[in-house]
Each structure stands twice: as C-alpha cells, then as structure tokens.
C-alpha cells in the first residue's frame, strides 16, 4: 500500500471501556494476584485523561460485568479512517465482546463489517504501521482469522503481512510498538525477528520487556511507569513521553495499547 504518513499515530478519537468489578476474574497467563477494580478504574481514568490531553475525543463506554476482560477494547475490533472491522477474539470467554462494542463503532463509523469466516483475531496481534499492517499469529490469532482479516484489509486498500509471533509472546504487540516515523520499540527477540525491515528499532532494556507495549498518540508516547531505562531510550531518539500507571492491567496481561481503540476521523 502507499505510505500514509501518520496512519499509525495521528488520531482524533478513541473508544475505551471502564473496567468492571468482575475484572478480578480476567484472563492471565501467570497468576500474580487479582487486579483491584477500584484501583484499576483510577488508573483507567488517568489513561483517558492522557488521551484527551493528547488531543483525542474519547468515548468512555460503561463497564460490562459479564465480560471481565472487556476493558481491553482493542481486541474485539480494529479501526481505520474508512471504517471498523469487528474481530473474533480467540478466547471463549470474550466471544460476546464484539457484539457489545458494535453500537459504539456504529456511532462513529458508517462502515462496520465483521471478520469473515470462523477464524480468530485478537486486536492485540495487529500492529499498524504507516505502510503495512502486521498480523501476528498467536494463541489468540489463528491462520484462518489472519488470512481473512488480511483479505478485508486488501479490499480497503491496505497491505497486510502475517507474521509468526515468537514463542512465549502472548500477543504480537506485547513485545513491540510503533513509535511512528519508521521507529519501532521492541523486545530483543522481536527486534531480531526481521519483521520490521530497515526501520530503526529501539530495543527495550533487559528486564523491562513489559515496557515494549507503548502507544504513540499524536505528539507524545504513552509509556508504562516503572521502566526507567526503556523510558530513557525512547526519549533519547527524540520522543516526548507521558508516564502512566498500568499496575492493575498488567495483572491480567493488559498493557497501554489494549485499553483503547484509536482512530482518525475526518474533521471536514
């Protein structure tokens, strides 16, 4: 596809969802204790404020007690300027989240389509760059889903590449992020993968792999607090940063990108 400067980080809007009390039952690969719902909501409020201060109009959806992981709105949908695609998360307990988020998508987009077929895609496995959209295969995203998603993207004029996410990585974006301007932040294993071509890659510090999940929002990069070496590395290549607490989200395998759908709508 043609290079579209700013596609990956120039946004006008975001959709988020307030964490529910049931978030304590959220999925996790390793049990490090249950998240505290009230503290999670406090952290989520700071996250929403940071998005707003970065220039976004933020839709904050109400909590869904029936879906403990539903605050991670990035997984059941994917948004582009032309419209939204409802995905099919690869975990049974999250199957209803796509239906639940559909009204919010339809409020913002005239075009909302469903992922064809029966395969699964989690939005956490989709990394949007300015010239290609990378789809990582994982325990949550299978080949059938990735190929179907790539087909929809091709119909919309976007190039997609399907990647074999390295072993031990939950979601593709667990281990990498775009900083925009052809700069990637990644763990060492992802940096060595060859997925990112000739783009400049900033490698997160040893012991700070969680900090690979950041989000560039217009002129700032939102970074989880507690990872000073990675923060310094991002700032050293010229990016302005904002630190945010993600202590509760991390307990159920969540990061900054998971907590919002970010997109650009025409302001004409």
The DSSP line for 127-157 is EE-SS-EEEEE-SSS-HHHHHHHHHHHHHTT
pLDDT category of residue 267 using cuts at 50, 70 and 90: low
Q: What is the pTM of this model?
A: 0.96
Give 210-251 pLDDT, tens digit per residue.
999 999 999 999 999 999 999 999 999 999 999 999 999 999
CA dihedral 72, 255, 20, 68 (to 10 degrees): 60
Give 167-204 pLDDT, tens digit per residue.
889 899 999 999 998 999 999 999 999 999 999 999 99
Point out the residues that are catalytic. Answer: 171, 258
> Which segment of 29-38, 55-64, 181-190, 252-261 scores lowest on mean pLDDT?
29-38
* CATH architecture of the domain with residue range 13-263: 5-stranded Propeller (3.75)
**Region 244-262 average pLDDT:** 97
Domain definitions of the chain by residue range: 13-263
pLDDT category of residue 32 using cuts at 50, 70 and 90: confident
Please tell me the predicted confidence (pLDDT) of residue 180. Answer: 93
């Amino acid at each position: 596809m043609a290079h579209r400067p700013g596609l990956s980080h120039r946004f006008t809007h975001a959709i988020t969802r307030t964490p529910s009390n049931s978030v304590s039952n959220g999925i996790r690969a390793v049990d490090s204790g249950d998240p505290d719902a009230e503290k999670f909501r406090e952290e989520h409020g700071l996250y929403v404020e940071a998005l707003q201060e970065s220039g976004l109009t933020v839709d904050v959806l109400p909590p869904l007690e029936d879906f403990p992981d539903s605050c991670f709105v990035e997984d059941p949908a994917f948004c582009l300027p032309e419209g939204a695609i409802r995905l099919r998360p690869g975990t049974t307990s999250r199957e209803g989240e796509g239906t639940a988020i559909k009204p919010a998508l339809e409020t913002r987009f005239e075009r909302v389509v469903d992922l064809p077929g029966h395969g699964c895609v989690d939005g956490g496995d989709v990394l949007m760059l300015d010239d290609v959209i990378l789809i990582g295969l994982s325990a949550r995203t299978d080949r059938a889903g990735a190929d179907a998603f790539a087909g929809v993207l091709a119909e919309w004029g976007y190039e997609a590449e399907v990647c074999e996410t390295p072993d031990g990585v939950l979601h593709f974006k667990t281990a990498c992020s775009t900083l925009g301007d052809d700069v990637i932040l990644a763990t060492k294993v992802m940096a060595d993968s060859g997925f990112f071509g000739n783009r400049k890659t900033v490698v997160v510090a040893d012991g700070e792999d969680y900090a690979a999940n950041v989000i560039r929002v217009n002129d700032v990069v939102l970074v989880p607090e507690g990872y000073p070496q990675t923060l310094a590395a991002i700032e050293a290549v010229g990016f302005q940063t904002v630190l945010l607490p993600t202590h509760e989200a991390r307990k159920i395998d969540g990061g900054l990108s998971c907590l919002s759908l970010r997109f650009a709508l025409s302001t004409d």
